[in-house]
Amino acid sequence: MASIDTPVRPGRRSFTGRRLRPADALLQGVAAIAATSAAVLVGLIAYKLVRDAWPAISRYGIAFVAHDIWDPVANHYGAASFLFGTVLTSVFALAIAGPLAIAIALYLTELAPRALRGPVTALVETLAAIPSVVIGLWGILVLGPFLAHHVEPWLHSALGFIPLFGSPSTGPQSIFTAIVVLTIMILPIVASICRELFLSVPRELKEGALALGTTRWEMIRAVVFPYARGGIAAALILGFGRAIGEAIAVTQVVGGGTIIQANLFSGGDTLASKIAASYQGADSNIQVAALIYLGLILLVFSLVVNLLAQWVVRQFGRGQGAVSRASARVGATA
Amino acid sequence: MKKSLSFAAVLALVAAVAAGMSAAAGARSSDTTITGAGSTFVSPLVQTWQQPVGGALGVTVNYNPIGSGGGIAAITNRTVDFGASDAPLSPDQFSACKGCLQIPWALAATAVLYNVSSVKNLLHMDGPTLAKIFSGEITKWNDPAIVKLNKGVSLPDTTITTVHRSDGSGTTWNFTDYLSSVSPAWKSKYGVGTSVNWPAGTGGRGSAGVSAVVSQTNGSIGYADVAFALKNHLKYFAMKNSSGKFTTPGLRGILAAASSDQKPDANNALSIVNPPKKFANAYPISTFTYVIVPETSAKAPELKKFLFWAVTKGQTFGPKLLFQPIPKPVLVVAEKTIKKIHT
């Protein structure tokens, strides 16, 4: 088939340029429809959320985000503790995963023996393919008990003077377990984007730096990081977006509870985990509306993060390689 | 060539799978399928019904255990043919459901689980103490209140971690209904619901989540339907009832509790939690669980056939899963209600 088609095509094109115009128009039309429908979809989702959350919005107003009560019996609802839990878990997860992911990417592009790079890259990416419900289950049965019995007591005795490291949890569930689970989930995403970024740094630049007598670390600091700066920021924000929105695994390990406290080893909830845990069983209209209000807050939160991502990339990413721009776009769709 | 060959192979495979699927669908479409959703509590029983119902009545029953709250929502929106809930519908829910019937169709108990190392099964517990534990007022296993109930047992100085359902659940409704009936303080502060504002403890998703957390946490106390507790070899309390007797969530205890209320109210709701002391063997955290159906249904004949079977023959599948067959007077009312369903 292909062998018949190939010689004809260039003939057509050389024959006249006009012939392809209908196809161009078609392409443009399809692409435009695809692009608009994505935008319309976001608009419709926002509209639907606002409409379904309206009973809660009109009842609680913006004060909803400042109240930390969630009482389905008395029908009093507020989002403060979930907002707090979301910020706490995703900021800490990013703080742990970010440096680790950059280190992994550097190792895979600059430091690892060539024979190791392929297999390790594949393994890191496999981590991203594990379903979150499986990670959550592993979190309750394996990771959680280990953290509670070994890591948390150790952190508490070493750093107990900081309120974050209060008395260790008795069971497998805590904010801390959720942070570690989220770290594991966002690590492969950030690492593989950073790896692509570092690979896109032109070889001449790196070799030039090395030829000037820099050490490998100096070369990385002087060439690789500045070149990939915007992209790294976008990758981190992409990971952050993933951490904010993760529901199932967090629901399984976070423990629940509406008490806002600094201790990472106590239970808590995030916006996404509360929605995942309670939506199906919600038995009053106002509770459903309050849960959808949580969803709306989550949407706004993600939007703000995305806008921030675009701004950051524009600030740091001027005049850089295509990959960093591409990943900026990836970041923007998180 | 190679490529087109493998392409052809893929095509053939797709065609074969599609043919297989349509054949399966064809075989099924000769039966009628009725779909239900709701209570996780009753789902082990409904699951054992599916095969015999298919054989005896030619009706395929699909059941999705999404929780009682979800079941009520699903039948209210008529996205299923029947809903199932452990909590009877509230008056508001009844009016929202527009012409729904509520039928008691199963009877079981909630077990109070615990996990504390080197302590035997069936420790003693009473309602007021349990309410204080779940309020976070009693925090140690060797608290005088627990020691007093278990003379001769040496209890450790372990911290108690309470474990509750993080999702909306009929089991939670049954459990908090009990706590409210034995503790006025619980009733006024936290109340009864499929989910409540827990003052302490940690949440597990579903009965499986609760049991996973309980089994991984030394010093924990949680709750789940008794079939689940047995299947997973978890320890549970013998609960003190109104007559002062310590009873286990077995068939005898459930039956004794069920005999305390055999007169369903206008909406067929029954309350058998914490029965008075003349029911000396009653297990105090027992509950009827309900199926909710619309009075007018396009699938009325099949629905009626299935429900009649469920409240009669279906009950004989119960005892193995620690579901006590529903008592005669309740059965009479159930059958009368089923007859009201029409197209």
ipTM of the complex: 0.76
Contact in structure between A165 and A159 (CB atoms under 8 Å): yes
Domain assignment present for A9: no
- A145 at B interface, C-beta within 8 A: yes
Domain assignment present for A198: yes
Q: How many domains would you assign to chain A? A: 1
Classified as helix, coil or strand, B178 is helix
Considering only the beta carbons, identify the residue of A70, A170, A282 that sits closest to B161.
A170
CATH of the domain at A242: 1.10.3720.10
Closest CA to B178 of B228, B128, B221, B251: B128
Report which secondary-structure segment, H or E, holds B45.
helix B43-57
Question: Judged by CB atoms within 8 Å, which residues 218-247 of A form the interface with B?
Answer: none
Domain assignment present for A167: yes
- A141 at B interface, C-beta within 8 A: yes
Distance between CA B75 and CA B78 in Å, rounded?
A: 5
- A73 at B interface, C-beta within 8 A: yes
Contact B168 A278 (CB under 8 A): yes
Q: Per-residue pLDDT tens, chain A, 334 aa: give them.
A: 444 444 444 444 444 555 568 888 899 999 999 999 999 998 999 999 999 999 999 999 889 988 888 888 888 899 999 999 999 999 999 999 999 999 999 999 988 888 989 899 999 888 888 998 999 999 999 999 999 989 999 999 988 888 888 888 888 889 999 999 999 999 999 999 999 999 988 988 888 888 998 888 889 988 898 888 888 988 998 899 999 999 889 998 988 887 888 888 888 899 999 998 888 777 778 888 999 999 999 999 988 888 888 888 787 765 454 444 444 444 444 4
Q: CATH: 3.40.50.720, 3.40.50.1100, 3.40.640.10, 3.40.190.10. Which one for B110-258?
A: 3.40.190.10
Q: Which CATH superfamily is domain B31-108+287-338 in?
A: Periplasmic binding protein-like II (3.40.190.10)
- A251 at B interface, C-beta within 8 A: yes
Top residue of A70, A71, A283 to mutate, by most chain B CBs within 10 Å, is A283
Domain assignment present for A296: yes
Query: Which residues on A lie below 8 Å from B92 (Cβ)?
Result: 284
Domain parsing of chain B, residue ranges: 31-108+287-338, 110-258
- A85 at B interface, C-beta within 8 A: no
Domain assignment present for A51: no
Whether the domain at B31-108+287-338 and the domain at B110-258 fall into the same CATH topology = yes
CA distance A262 to chain B (A): 16
Domain assignment present for A88: yes
Query: Which residues on A lie below 8 Å from B93 (Cβ)?
Result: 283
Distance between CA A255 and CA A134 in Å, rounded?
A: 17
Contact A73 B168 (CB under 8 A): no
- Model-level pTM? 0.81
Distance between CA A245 and CA A276 in Å, rounded?
A: 11
Contact in structure between A82 and A272 (CB atoms under 8 Å): no
Q: Which structural domain range is residue A187 located in? A: 64-333
Query: Which residues on B lie below 8 Å from A72 (Cβ)?
Result: 168, 193-197
Considering only the beta carbons, identify the residue of B93, B203, B218 that sits closest to A256.
B203
Considering only the beta carbons, identify the residue of A69, A258, A277 that sits closest to B167.
A277
Distance between CA B102 and CA B119 in Å, rounded?
A: 42
